[in-house]
Amino acid sequence: MITRYADPRVDAISCDEAKVKRWQDSELAVIEARVNLNLAPRNVFETTKAILEANPCDIGWWLRREKETQHDLTAFIDERLRYIPPEMQAEWHKDMTSYDTEDAAFALALLQFAAIVSEDLEKLIGLMKGFALRERYTLMLERTHGQWAKLRSFGGRILTWLAPLLFAHEQLKRAAANCRQSRISGAIGNYGGGLSPEIEFEALRILGLTPFYGATQILPRIVQAPLAQSVRLVGEALGQIAVDFRLGARSGKSLWHEPFAKEQKGSSAMPHKKNTIGTEQIDGMLDLLSGSEASVLRSIQTWEARAIEQSCVERVAWPDLFHEILRMISVMHRVLGGMVIYRDHMLQEIQDSRETYASDEEKNFLALECGKRGIEFETAYRIVQLASFCAFKPTEYWAKVRETRPSFDLREADELLQESYNAPFKQSLGIKEIIKKGKLFRVEGLKATEKDVASWNVFLSEIFSGADTRARWDALFNPSYLLKGEGFLFSKILG
Amino acid sequence: MITRYADPRVDAISCDEAKVKRWQDSELAVIEARVNLNLAPRNVFETTKAILEANPCDIGWWLRREKETQHDLTAFIDERLRYIPPEMQAEWHKDMTSYDTEDAAFALALLQFAAIVSEDLEKLIGLMKGFALRERYTLMLERTHGQWAKLRSFGGRILTWLAPLLFAHEQLKRAAANCRQSRISGAIGNYGGGLSPEIEFEALRILGLTPFYGATQILPRIVQAPLAQSVRLVGEALGQIAVDFRLGARSGKSLWHEPFAKEQKGSSAMPHKKNTIGTEQIDGMLDLLSGSEASVLRSIQTWEARAIEQSCVERVAWPDLFHEILRMISVMHRVLGGMVIYRDHMLQEIQDSRETYASDEEKNFLALECGKRGIEFETAYRIVQLASFCAFKPTEYWAKVRETRPSFDLREADELLQESYNAPFKQSLGIKEIIKKGKLFRVEGLKATEKDVASWNVFLSEIFSGADTRARWDALFNPSYLLKGEGFLFSKILG
Amino acid sequence: MITRYADPRVDAISCDEAKVKRWQDSELAVIEARVNLNLAPRNVFETTKAILEANPCDIGWWLRREKETQHDLTAFIDERLRYIPPEMQAEWHKDMTSYDTEDAAFALALLQFAAIVSEDLEKLIGLMKGFALRERYTLMLERTHGQWAKLRSFGGRILTWLAPLLFAHEQLKRAAANCRQSRISGAIGNYGGGLSPEIEFEALRILGLTPFYGATQILPRIVQAPLAQSVRLVGEALGQIAVDFRLGARSGKSLWHEPFAKEQKGSSAMPHKKNTIGTEQIDGMLDLLSGSEASVLRSIQTWEARAIEQSCVERVAWPDLFHEILRMISVMHRVLGGMVIYRDHMLQEIQDSRETYASDEEKNFLALECGKRGIEFETAYRIVQLASFCAFKPTEYWAKVRETRPSFDLREADELLQESYNAPFKQSLGIKEIIKKGKLFRVEGLKATEKDVASWNVFLSEIFSGADTRARWDALFNPSYLLKGEGFLFSKILG
Amino acid sequence: MITRYADPRVDAISCDEAKVKRWQDSELAVIEARVNLNLAPRNVFETTKAILEANPCDIGWWLRREKETQHDLTAFIDERLRYIPPEMQAEWHKDMTSYDTEDAAFALALLQFAAIVSEDLEKLIGLMKGFALRERYTLMLERTHGQWAKLRSFGGRILTWLAPLLFAHEQLKRAAANCRQSRISGAIGNYGGGLSPEIEFEALRILGLTPFYGATQILPRIVQAPLAQSVRLVGEALGQIAVDFRLGARSGKSLWHEPFAKEQKGSSAMPHKKNTIGTEQIDGMLDLLSGSEASVLRSIQTWEARAIEQSCVERVAWPDLFHEILRMISVMHRVLGGMVIYRDHMLQEIQDSRETYASDEEKNFLALECGKRGIEFETAYRIVQLASFCAFKPTEYWAKVRETRPSFDLREADELLQESYNAPFKQSLGIKEIIKKGKLFRVEGLKATEKDVASWNVFLSEIFSGADTRARWDALFNPSYLLKGEGFLFSKILG
């Protein structure tokens, strides 16, 4: 991964020094296991361990030796042998094949990567939980299909970001647990003449691992694949938040914005710009991450007891996957931690929605009245639909603009723009009043005839003749009514 | 593909009847080629052709026979042999292997699929060209990063949808041309004892095809892969339009909307909804299409002179790819053909932008003035940036709302919502006037100090003291100035 | 999915009739829940249920109505309302949005799909377990990197096919358990005015499901994504077996072959062919399956509380995914159930390997001897490497053929082929004897000098001067020694 | 890309120094264009160019400035401004947005990347052409479905590796040509107040580029996508060769092997191993490459006139794509350049095939005889099929081994292995003689009855009673007959 996006903790795990250290730990664990099983003298283990730990692997020597053997693990074996007394050399890498060393070591690396992701995720989740609680009673409009839908609290919106992330985190932890499985079972996985299930079990136990039975020369990569898949899921959960963030930050009545530094520039050309560059990067990073995941999944299979296709994928795609997800988490943490919230716009947007935010409850209210009067259920739907279309009817001036296409040249556009600055806005009644007062009128584009409309207005006048009905109607629009179920979700999700 | 999304023209090409007909055409072409090269008597060809065309393949018999031979092409050969006079049988499928028949036939199918896509694309492109021309002078705000950026015409926006589509169409046509290449070169592609380059060339020529040299038992699938890749590109171009459409149709000052039928329902719960279901389906269809493309690309390779992995992919993923792209084109055609345009909102959005739509030109205007006065270039940027921040400063009431988090319970939210309906809106000056009149003021979040602001206001007063300067300044905001370059694009792209 | 590959059980779940039946079950569960919570009279539920179950949904009417409403669920609601007495209509779909109905129903469908896969997998696993046991003592050579590696039992090989499949099955079961989670929480997931956590919990309980808290209008698709991911893993495990099968079935000393029917034809051109068409289809099917999985994963995200992109993906890619995996399982079952095993070739291949199958144990044997004599560890490696190169040295005639490139024309090739039929084969000693007898000789391509070789031969003569050493050496090559660890694996994996 | 796999030429193009140099070239090209169009004084260009080229960008200063502006291009603009005389600053980056600079520069980088790939590919293609010619008359068996199929020359096999690579290279060159298109058209692509089509055209011309009309703030990424797609195709072509290579190098009668260095070690456990590690790495590298391509394709779309998602993808996935393909080409070059060819095994394998390599010609030969005698066509097929099954019948001893499953314990396996070393091999007649001499016999597994077999043997005796027929029959098996069509392919493909 390029420096710009690299997480130093991932590099610290995937660097050569750390890698050969893990190899050494694997090798020593096998010797220690033999000692514990009375298959080798304890001093061989103790001396070898002491010498090797006192003399770290010489990376330069090792890489030069690899050029000759064209095999990195045998080069490592040779490098280490330089320090081991001849009489103890036979215990070194005894009966082992390269992947007896490497697979145990690689499992350790994956566990370390996963632990870092988990740690950063927990911090982000903590931040989001506090955030949700703080905005527990801030009102906003929720959208479906990009259209204004219903009222919710901003805190409640954050819960919907949080829940998928919690789910993905759960998958990650499960998948990481799989990665505790590894193998030290010889060149084709059946222990051959020298290893044994007992040595394997004990050596892995020393390393904090556990055997996977049925491996070949390598652990079947399918065992680790769910970890990559779960990182993808974490990425998707973050990507979803990023997209929602970008949608909410769009100019107009933007609901929030990314933090913007005092000397920041949004654009070299347009000084007024404050762009959502963080969340956009999260989306781009997900494009990278899904490519890395695809590479890991494509390399699950091998031929027979193994070939080495998966090696380069593991050297590149696995660390990249972790660089990418950690970058996504860190940018998201920065964005959510410093985001500017426009609660004024949230409220203004509710006003702008002309009370359509309760159209579901309105429809059900009217449906009950229909039921009482033997009017078909469907009518309630059609009345509310018509009322909402009425509520958004433009004034005459703007209706004309809507239909006008300047058709000659750009000067016509100049004039229209100039003139429009003086055009009056006047909002018609909202849906709440249109229905309560029986002020429906026919609109193009719906099937309702003049006669339908007239009869519906009569029907509405009847319903709303009573003060009690009007009061019940008005109560529909209260946040405290519409959001009464949210408290339960807060307690369930925030725990 | 399920019926809901299937294009009947694709089914007509991929159905069994059409497939065996193409096989028969391949077989007959080889016989005809031998006749043309004086390697077989003409009457064998004529008789065989006449008999077989008079007796179409019995699909039921063929499928039953396939159950026995476990080989669809040999079953077809057997079915057809039932009609061919014994003395002419030796010429039937002579020296040929299955894929001598199938590959030629499959090339024909791909060419037919591609032709349909091309035809539908041309119609859509025609529609879009007319559309762009009609909206040549309709003004709108363009966005970058979701934020208001600069002025453009709506027609100009459509050009930016069109250009990638034209590019993708060009790739499709090129890739389809590759698919004219096929092979009839025997069981491992070196003609063996019975076929020859001459027979291959002539038979393919009869079918409208041309040889690919260096094939094995099959045409290397890499030759056809670019067709799948180009379909993906067409899909991406359509997906881009769909996303832009959805963004423009979002509630608020929506710029347009999908056609909505008189009896249509947007939601079973919320009668007020008009959702962008068409363009959303286009996006979903692209998810399917990219899966189909991935399958085709994964099946390019085979082992040595061939294995049959790619067969099931070709039976499923190729037709699906075409069903999917045709569905995307057809939905897009319906959406763009019937879309409702809110030119009033386009204009209102320009007003809402407080003249930031020309911030680039403003900055350059001031930069020249800075240059004249030896003030550093950077100052122009900072003035325009500050002015735009000033232009969006909320009133005191709403500024307070912005900072307020209702913190006790939902009834507090009830009250806030109620109260806010009566709160006054008052827009501050736009950026044009703020600068012209030297009305900058300090804002939190930018580095400029009170002293900076004061000195800048003095600087601005000086600049705009002359009527001439003010007139040049005002002219910056005219569409006819800002869009003067668009005419060139219309002529280049619409041709 | 096309008929050729479709599993009728999947079609029976995804067909319209089954789908609307599940929708009806969802709707009725909500009414029943309200009854159980004393929010509605019991007779409304009982009557509605009785009437609707007596009158199944008229698919034709429903689809025609969908054309009008452009909304399949509202069309269904309307269709069903035709049968419900007016006074009970208000309880029908009350306070619900479409996805309150659909998401619960979709969860049920996924659970059914997963159950079928699980069932078929269990049968395949059962077959493979029995198979492994039966071939517990059949010997074969295992390969790594396509090269002969070490001895194992054929049964042991089957264990290495089985273990990844068992792992993948485990993932599938876990992922299916996730799919029990669904939601009935209203248009944006916060229950709105009419639903409640209690109704949701009870209705889902009736359906055998459980709530996911933090959903929007839809269950976040991330909850179901692991099911698609686990199907991919099952596919990879099967694909791995298929590749191994194909490799083992290659001409030469093929180890096994697919079942071949009495009237089967391998090729229309080459009557001698018996091709691995089943396992090749499994590989191709995995190409399709990975495309379907990619589509599902690409459609996890949506905008805000939902858009409908994922709908077409769910209608197409999810059923396809199950068709594909079931096809893979069924073909694999047929192939493994009827495979022909060439135990003769397995044994012959062991002979052909010239005892390199124990080169690891040989090296370790010699390394101990080196240790005793203060010779460096590395020497053991180099001796065995050289011995194995010696063991494969061709005779003089064939060595010459190896270096000869016929260079004039094809008639030269005719002659060479003719002549070679009479050329003698003579195998040199195997590695076991070369070492035991100190018969190393220098070969091109290894660094060992004549002097090295001479000194090594001396060293070997010394070692093997004792009968005891020779006996221990010979014992290295016994299967009973080399496979002694396999018994443990059988008991662990077969349970 | 990690150092192990990185190509330094790619790094030299993608490093910061090279990148800002390209940015500077873009900026200067715009000034020069204005000069050429008489829109700016020549000395501004000349002075600015001279000063900037004398003072390369200070990378450290630039990166620190980016931290403040959070915008790399504006930081670059600021860094450069430090050197430009104040009176010339207004021409610097005048009227331009960041991507006016970056997109032109990025096009240049892509062209450089593509040129390197093309150059390396041409060298590899040259190597392969020479190789094909040299092995023009070396005989080998070709396989389909992993099974022995027909005779071909080894040179002819190389042609089938070459042809897809030539095709892919052609696609790459076409796609690179697309990348000459770029844009310098302002913040939303319509030139705004300051740029113009003339300036864009001239500046791009100076850089060796050409305008794409219909761009937004950025060049639509779809224009560059085919380059990534074509790199994928080159990768697939190489991957196909790698797989074929690995298949041919499998132990048994391996056809070739990768070069093996004198001190190389194939395995830390098994000294006898010579593994196909190069071609396996090529396959793994393709897994990486297809992930990088997927990332590039996923980032084609953006929102409206642009967002910045694609930036991180371009910084990472594009260079990685080129690192990966160059690594694949270089490893392939090394493998093919140094490969060891076992022509002896190629010939032995032909012998082992028992003349089934001409089964197609045999069948056609007999079919003609059937025709003469009014025997149905199908008979010829069945005779050759049976003959080939006969040719592979094992001896009695080995037939028994084939059916035997050691069932008690491993010592039984010890004995069987021991005993089998003494078992005789005796090959039955090949298919050529079985047919010529009418020596068919019934086999299990084919439908032919004893009676069928008897009558066929009679039929064969009749046919082959004449010496002439026998001579024509024998001639079928000559390479010079079977490969007569190959010469044409050599001349067509090698040109």
**pLDDT of B329:** 98
Q: Which residue of B has its CA nearest to D303?
A: B244
Q: What is the largest CA-CA distance in chain C?
A: 106
Whether residue A315 and residue D287 make contact (CB cut-off 8 A), yes or no, is: no
Do C342 and C350 touch, CB atoms closer than 8 A? no
ipTM of the complex: 0.95
As given in the structure block, the two tokens for residue D425 are 């091999």
Average of pLDDT values for A265-276? 86
Instruction: Tell me, yes or no, if D54 comes closer than 8 A to chain C by beta carbon.
Output: no
CATH number attached to the domain at A3-259+274-346: 1.20.200.10
Residue of A65, A216, A312, A315 best to disrupt the D interface, most CBs of D under 10 A: A312
Residue from A100, A115, A82 nearest A203 by CA: A100
Of B4, B246, B308, Cβ closest to residue C280: B308
Q: Looking at the predicted structure, is the pLDDT value of residue D231 above 80?
A: yes
What stretches of C208-276 show up as alpha helix (H) in DSSP?
225-248
- Rounded (5°) CA angle C289-C291-C294: 110
Whether residue C486 and residue A191 make contact (CB cut-off 8 A), yes or no, is: yes
Over residues B216-258, the pLDDT tens digits come to 999 999 999 999 999 999 999 999 999 999 999 999 999 999 9
The shortest C-alpha distance from B290 to chain D (Å) reads 9
- Return all residues near A22 (Cβ < 8 A) that are at least 6 apart: A105, A106, A108, A109
- Return all residues near D302 (Cβ < 8 A) that are at least 6 apart: B240, D218, D221, D309, D310
CATH topology of domain B3-260+273-346: Fumarase C; Chain A, domain 2 (1.20.200)
The shortest C-alpha distance from D307 to chain A (Å) reads 7
Instruction: Tell me, yes or no, if C410 comes closer than 8 A to chain B by beta carbon.
Output: no
Q: Comparing A246-250, A418-422, B194-198, D288-292, which segment has the lowest mean pLDDT?
A: A418-422
> What radius of gyration, in Å, describes the C-alpha atoms of chain C?
33
Do A239 and C301 touch, CB atoms closer than 8 A? yes
- Judged by CB atoms within 8 Å, which residues 243-282 of D form the interface with A? 246, 261, 263-270, 275-277, 280-281
Residue from A298, C204, A387 nearest D291 by CA: A298
**Residue B289: CB atoms within 10 Å:** 29
Q: Which of A475-489, B314-328, D425-439 has the highest mean pLDDT?
A: B314-328
Residue B187's pLDDT band, with cuts at 50, 70 and 90, is: very high
Instruction: Tell me, yes or no, if D135 comes closer than 8 A to chain C by beta carbon.
Output: yes
**pLDDT of D79:** 96
Over residues A179-234, the pLDDT tens digits come to 999 999 999 999 988 899 999 999 999 999 999 999 999 999 999 999 999 999 99
Residue from A257, A251, A236 nearest A338 by CA: A257
Residue of A188, A279, A309 best to disrupt the D interface, most CBs of D under 10 A: A309
**pLDDT of B377:** 81
CATH 3.40.1390.10: does it fit domain C3-260+274-346?
no
**pLDDT of C56:** 96
Instruction: Tell me, yes or no, if C426 comes closer than 8 A to chain D by beta carbon.
Output: no
- Judged by CB atoms within 8 Å, which residues 93-122 of A form the interface with D? 93, 95-98
Three-class SS of residue B147? strand
Q: Which residue of A has its CA nearest to D239?
A: A309
Tell me how far apart the alpha carbons of residues B135 and A434 are, in angstroms, rounded to a whole number.
35
Mean pLDDT by 10 residues, chain C (495 residues): 96 97 98 97 97 97 93 94 90 93 97 98 98 93 96 95 98 98 96 93 98 97 98 98 98 95 82 93 98 98 96 97 98 97 94 93 91 86 93 91 81 84 80 94 91 95 94 93 91 90
As given in the structure block, the two tokens for residue B382 are 């900072």
Residue of D288, D306, D315 best to disrupt the A interface, most CBs of A under 10 A: D288
Question: In which element (H, E) is residue B228 found?
Answer: helix B225-248
Taking CA atoms, A442 is separated from A383, A393, A450, B344, D197, in Å, by: 11, 11, 6, 21, 50
Instruction: Tell me, yes or no, if D480 comes closer than 8 A to chain C by beta carbon.
Output: yes
Residue B378's pLDDT band, with cuts at 50, 70 and 90, is: confident
Over residues A332-359, the pLDDT tens digits come to 999 999 999 999 999 999 999 999 999 9
The DSSP bridge partners found for residue D340 are D257
Over residues B4-40, the pLDDT tens digits come to 999 999 999 999 999 999 999 999 999 999 999 999 9
DSSP B150: E
Give A304's contacts in chain C (Cβ within 8 Å): 142-144, 146, 244, 247
pTM of the model: 0.96
Between A and B, how many CB-CB pairs are < 8 A?
239
Give D281's contacts in chain A (Cβ within 8 Å): 308-309, 311-312
Whether residue B78 and residue D378 make contact (CB cut-off 8 A), yes or no, is: yes
**pLDDT of C262:** 82
Average of pLDDT values for A423-427? 75
Do C277 and B308 touch, CB atoms closer than 8 A? yes
Instruction: Report how many helices (DSSP H) and strands (DSSP E) chain A contains, helices first.
Output: 21, 6
Instruction: Tell me, yes or no, if A145 comes closer than 8 A to chain C by beta carbon.
Output: yes
Of B265, B398, B417, Cβ closest to residue A479: B417
Average of pLDDT values for D464-491? 93
What stretches of A55-186 show up as alpha helix (H) in DSSP?
59-69, 72-81, 98-134, 154-178
Over residues B102-119, the pLDDT tens digits come to 999 999 999 999 999 999
- Judged by CB atoms within 8 Å, which residues 173-232 of A form the interface with D? 186-187
Angle between helices B450-463 and B378-391 (to 10 degrees): 100
**pLDDT of C405:** 82
Tell me how far apart the alpha carbons of residues C375 and C382 are, in angstroms, rounded to a whole number.
12
Of D342, D344, D384, Cβ closest to residue C271: D384
Domain ranges of chain B: 3-260+273-346, 354-494
> What radius of gyration, in Å, describes the C-alpha atoms of chain A?
33
Do B316 and C1 touch, CB atoms closer than 8 A? yes
**pLDDT of A377:** 81
Give A18's contacts in chain D (Cβ within 8 Å): none
Give D273's contacts in chain C (Cβ within 8 Å): 144-145, 147, 149, 359
Tell me how far apart the alpha carbons of residues D211 and C374 are, in angstroms, rounded to a whole number.
75
Tell me how far apart the alpha carbons of residues D428 and D265 are, in angstroms, rounded to a whole number.
41
**pLDDT of C417:** 85
Taking CA atoms, A168 is separated from A179, A230, A480, in Å, by: 17, 7, 32
Instruction: Tell me, yes or no, if A310 comes closer than 8 A to chain D by beta carbon.
Output: yes
Give the sign of the dihedral formed by CA C344, CA C345, CA C346, CA C351.
Answer: positive
Give C303's contacts in chain B (Cβ within 8 Å): 246
Give the sign of the dihedral formed by CA A463, CA A469, CA A472, CA A474.
Answer: positive
- % chain A with pLDDT above 90: 83
